[in-house]
Structure 1
Amino acid sequence: MKKNKTFAIIGGGPGGLTLARLLQLKGVDVKVYERDFNQEVRVQGATLDLHQESGLKALCAAGLMDEFYANFRPGAGKLRVVDKDAIIKMDWDEEEGQEENRPEIDRGPLRNILLNSLAPGTVVWDSQYLSMVPYGNQWKISFKNGSSATADIVIAVDGANSRVRPLITAITPVYSGVTIVEGNVYHADKNAARLQKLLGGGKIFALGEGKSLILSAKGDGSISFYTGCKVEESWLQDSGVDFSDKSAVFDWFKTEFGSWNEIWQELFQGDEFFFVPRPQYHFPTDQQWTSLPNLTMIGDAAHRMPPYTGEGVNIAMLDALELSECLTNETFPTIAEAIAYFEKQMLSRASASTQSALASTEMLHSDDGLERLIQLFDDFSEPVKKDFAEPLKK
């Protein structure tokens, strides 16, 4: 099926790069079209915990486990659950061996591992997708910079707001009821010293009043964070907050989280800042579509969901593994049949993951979310848990 065929992957995130690596190992002619200007663009977002049955399984198939373990962050999976006053309610410490089941790695190092595994010239940078039209038996892809490319098979890995997806299905996402504001604190030792100490190199889940605040320490000395609030779908437009203006975002935070301990205001210290509002959508758990013969999608483009289970990147990488196996498996007479089989399995997996993500979203933003989260951890017996009721020392 793959002989004399060209493959185009739209999107150079973990899912797209994993797919490219796996296809190249099978001798496939593949290009990745990525909107970032070059490899040096700063990668935002929290650390990623890769799971044995998905993300790590894909990396193993890609032959990149040595590189992964040379770059992962031991101890980054430690988790503290605190209330809105930063009083520690529970510590979650991983036992020996537990950490290896879901080791953590920063997004930047993971991206570099995958990029460095590809043949030179595989990634075509500064190629933001604009449109795509049939071109004989191929697709002609146009990019914002004025360039274009053709390919026999296209795989969309262009994220939750995929612009390729409408060519596959008209199914639209559903608002979850929660909107996140993502941010980053650079040079946290200086700008957020108390929060950095409270993190201890791991993660914090702070819950209260139906809101969430999730922090993650990163290997570069920064802290990534996500606020979560139950607001109307139109909040982003109605709020009038200018997310390119730190003082405007800070004013919103001081109002929305006004009853929370002032320690959380350290998130807005320092001159560098990064804020992105993210209304959380999901696709229907029963979504189906008629497969196309030479176009498919994986990751958030196919099955976006709230991030509260940590499955997003793992599912995308598992999608990449399963799709690569289908596309290079000679038991399928045609590419069309390979894609149809893959999509059927993918949608079944995604349905279960979406239901789990929605349940977690509801739990974390309920009035008793703190108690329910602690009870959830209490239901597990392997990790070591410690209960605390001591105020944060300033």
Structure 2
Amino acid sequence: MTVPATVPNTPAAAEPAPAPGGVLRPHAEEAFAAELAALAARDDRRRPPNWRLSPWAVATYLLGGTLSDGTVITPKYVGPRRVVEVAVATLATDRALLLLGVPGTAKTWVSEHLAAAVSGDSTLLVQGTAGTPEESVRYGWDYARLLARGPSRQALVPSPVMRAMAEGMTARVEELTRIPADVQDGLITLLSEKTLPIPELGQEVQAVPGFNLIATANDRDRGVNDLSSALRRRFNTVVLPLPATPEEEVDIVARRVGQIGRSLDLPASGGLEEIRRVVTVFRELREGVSADGRTRLKSPSGTLSTAEAISVVTGGLALAAHFGDGVLRPQDLAAGLRGAVVRDPAADRAAWQEYLETVVREREGWKDLYRACREVDG
């Protein structure tokens, strides 16, 4: 896979469509509408009921490729092909899909793009929090109509999951383990029987072909609201790994930062070498050892994920564009790096300073980054 020479010069094929109506972040099905349309036009493989694309085309949309007419499909996920194939195959069955991984492994990103490719709509979303009510996964009521006329279908407010069942689409539940256990349990009957009872009306909603559900969970959240064994059995779990190699992680960060930079009109350039350095810092601290294997390091309390690397570089681009000469340099990254590493001042500051003195200071060609980071530390 080719890494762009500079952040803003990522190949044109990698650019999503311009944000419609000035929207800051269009949904996946809007941003990549041209790619989805090209795949649908040339997709002659069997499609499950109510799917917009065949499983092969869905996997191609996520992993990237070149179609027979030369259309380039840009990769949305950089990682093991088999992981994506298992996820797509799961959605073609009657089992729900659970995407599990540490923070920053693109669980939400993959979930959104899977729903966009399968159903053409990624917005049937339940955002899991400690306060997520049962109505979010079942249904609620329009209380003005309920009080005026009593229980009726007109007074019922369907949840995103209920709509997906009725329309044969893909629903999404983010941060499943953040949702209270009693609300989680509301999914058990829904996923096993493919039916959502409405006892107030003596009715039920039965899922039509094409319905399925994608949930995401952070494996650092074990013990928050662990899934019951009954609920876990309703899911096929796919673990999204961290990038396997530095080159793979650099590619992911460069592509995503390029997209974000264009959407925010950040004209900074010359960022590839700085991206390599950010990725190297994150990987070394994450793994607790320097790249050459000679120096053992203290790992900080944070996850130092790929998503955080993207955030650090994007913040640096903004500094370079608005307060510099548009060229990304170490001084644009130093504050973001420190902020990402030092989450707990008491525990992480010592690990960060030790890393600066034993690795960054001694590494050839990194003196400028060392000076910039020491200036931030004061």
TM-score range, shorter chain: under 0.3
Say which structure is richer in strand: 1
Larger RCO (alpha carbons 8 Å, 6+ apart): 1
Say which structure is richer in helix: 2
TM-score, normalised with respect to structure 1: 0.27
